[in-house]
Amino acid sequence: MKNVVITFSILFAGMLLVSQAEARSGQSHHAHLLHEAAYAGNDADEFGAEFGALMQDYFGLKEALVESDLEQAGSKSHAMGERLDEIGPHRLEGDEHMFWMNRFEDLAGEITAIHDAENLDDVREHFSSLSDQLVEIVSTLGTGDNVYHQYCPMAEAGWLSDEEEIRNPYKPETMLGCGRIEAKM
């Protein structure tokens, strides 16, 4: 009986330490489980690589907006659409499958709207919605790389960046450095 009590005490202490470590890291247990499950297995590895490529196109889109280049924004959004089609809505399993599937069509809609936009104001409006969706996806599934969630209070909009330096895609002509890092993901 004494051995059973000691074993349960050790198990409880271990669970408590893991819970405290997750709390310190700011990552919920559910998000951690989704991330682990999402990247377990070959198909999930392919998903991770393809989602990483999608994010690289997104970072290129952000830079096109920093440069106020409508043509390049259209090109990058087209590349994002192609990558999203390659990934498809059914690549993951379990909870992460439902999570991804429920966001897939919204991502596709924003990417299409960016590609079809005729001016930078419309591109930036849809980029803001796209960024909000990607913040949620990256915070849940991760990317395997450092990603910075940045925010401009003047534009009241956020974006993701693969670099720490603030390069505001919403008001680059007047406030290129305006913004703050909300989170490192």
Q: What is the pLDDT of residues 124-138, one digit of tens each?
A: 999 999 999 999 999
Say what the pLDDT of residue 116 is.
97
Helices 120-141 and 94-116, packing angle to 10 deg: 170
How far CA 53 is from CA of 11, 31, 32, in Å, comes to 40, 22, 22
The one-character DSSP state at 179 is: -
For the ranges 11-20, 110-119, 123-132, 150-159, which has the lowest average pLDDT?
A: 11-20
pTM of the predicted model, to two decimals?
A: 0.77
Burial class (CB in 10 A: 0-12, 13-18, 19+), 126: buried
Q: What is the pLDDT, as a whole number, of residue 43?
A: 63
Structural element, H or E, at residue 174: helix 172-175
Confirm or reject CATH 1.20.120 for domain 29-143, answering yes or no: yes
Q: Structural domain boundaries of the chain?
A: 29-143
What is the rounded end-to-end Cα distance, in angstroms, of the chain?
45
- What is the rounded average pLDDT of the residues 75-99? 95
Average pLDDT, the chain: 83
